[in-house]
Amino acid sequence: MTVRKTIFWIHLIAGVAAGLSIFIMCFTGTVLAFEKQIVAFAERDVRQVKPGESASHLPVAELQKVIKAAHPDAKPTAITISADPADAVVFRLGRDGALYANPYTGEIAVPTTTRTHDFMHFMEDWHRVLALVGDNRPIGKAINGACNLAFFVLAVTGLYIWWPRKWRTKGLRRSLWFMKTDNGKARDWNIHNVIGLWSAPILIILTLTALPISYRWAANLIYNVAGEEAPVRTGPPGSAAPDSSIPPPTSGTKPASLDDLLNAAKNAIPEWTEITLRLGGGSQPQPVTIAVKAPGAWPRTATTSLKLNPYTAEIIQVEKFDDLSAARRFRSWSRFLHTGEALGYVGQFIAGLASLGGCFLVYTGFALTWRRFARWRNSRLG
């Protein structure tokens, strides 16, 4: 068997074995390409507010009290404020959504409907764990992780198979662009070849950057290659020992207010555009973590991380993207390259388009395989 035939059969077997899961990941990936923008548009009625006459914000601590009074069961995990005066203050509730506070009136709002958010959440569950729930989620994650590996193999072997063997005009046109034909097999081959050739480089990046998300060994490999020690997983909130960088408070010392913490971040980075304060739930004294976005940051998803003393609001550590180790920078890049967000709208569009192309690759690949099987079966019967 020639090298080309060997690669072809590896390609075919991987496609048949993982095709259904790959189709699901590609379809949901297409839908999720602009997830944040779509959800933001659908919830614009609560995310946007009309600035008050005084144009001064109410204290965030006061907004938090209103939240507790109006929604006693809500447990915000983070608070996000924007430099845009038309943006509401966001009290994030993890993956369950968010509450939006008008910083001028103190009015608390929830989206009129959460159908868009819930639909995207549903698509994300299919994309990650095949929509399995409870104890079955790791099974779904393992299946999709293995099929993502198969997809990487498909993209690499496909690029070899689809690459024009002879750079002549007619053959080159069939490989590079769509041709009109009444022959079903020729049509499917042409579609499969053209979409595969153009999308394979992007699909290779998408599948590679998904590996650290699916597998711990892949995430650790990044650190090992960079000659760094992989981070150790921490326990649940509150399980960590007291941080030695925080001097033990004197008896009766109260934690700094949310506004003091946020003001410290604003003063540290005056050009800020968005600040997210993570709310901890642990019993041990730990630094308060604040992520700050600033204009002109590169990559586009980069933030500056601040660690503050929870009692004095004193800044303990400032960590910019450039301050991260090589492995952590690459890890951050890979996470947002997978969604295309690292390159902005253009990157998201390319990632979504390649994912859509993957759907056609699965369909035409199955069609071509079925024809091959039918031809083999007829030859055996005849």
pTM for the whole thing? 0.86
Q: Is 276 helix (H, G, I), strand (E, B) or coil?
A: strand
pLDDT by 10s per residue, the chain, length 382 = 788 899 999 999 999 999 999 999 999 999 999 999 999 999 999 999 988 656 688 999 999 999 999 999 989 999 999 999 999 999 998 877 899 999 999 999 998 888 999 999 999 999 999 999 999 999 999 999 999 999 999 999 999 888 877 666 666 677 778 888 878 888 999 999 999 999 999 999 999 999 999 999 999 999 999 999 988 765 554 445 555 567 777 777 888 999 999 999 999 999 999 999 999 755 567 899 999 999 988 778 889 999 999 999 999 999 999 999 999 999 988 889 999 998 889 999 999 999 999 999 999 999 999 999 888 888 877 6
Provide the pLDDT for residue 18: 96
What are the beta bridge partners of residue 108? Answer: 101
- Which residue bears the tokens 């690292």? 342
In this structure, are residues 340 and 33 in contact, taking their beta carbons and an 8 Å threshold?
yes
> What are the C-alpha distances in Å from 43 to residues 66, 88, 113?
21, 11, 8
Q: φ, ψ for residue 106 (rounded to 5)?
A: 80, 5
Tens of pLDDT along 223-239?
999 999 988 765 554 44
Exposed, middle or buried by CB within 10 Å (0-12, 13-18, 19+), for 364?
Answer: buried
Q: φ, ψ for residue 38 (rounded to 5)?
A: -65, -45
Tens of pLDDT along 37-79?
999 999 999 999 988 656 688 999 999 999 999 999 989 999 9
> Nearest-CA neighbor of 249 among 299, 314, 333?
314
Instruction: Report CA dihedral (289, 290, 291, 295) to the nearest 10 degrees.
Output: -150
- Domain coordinates of the chain in residue numbers? 1-43+113-228+326-382, 44-75+85-110, 258-324
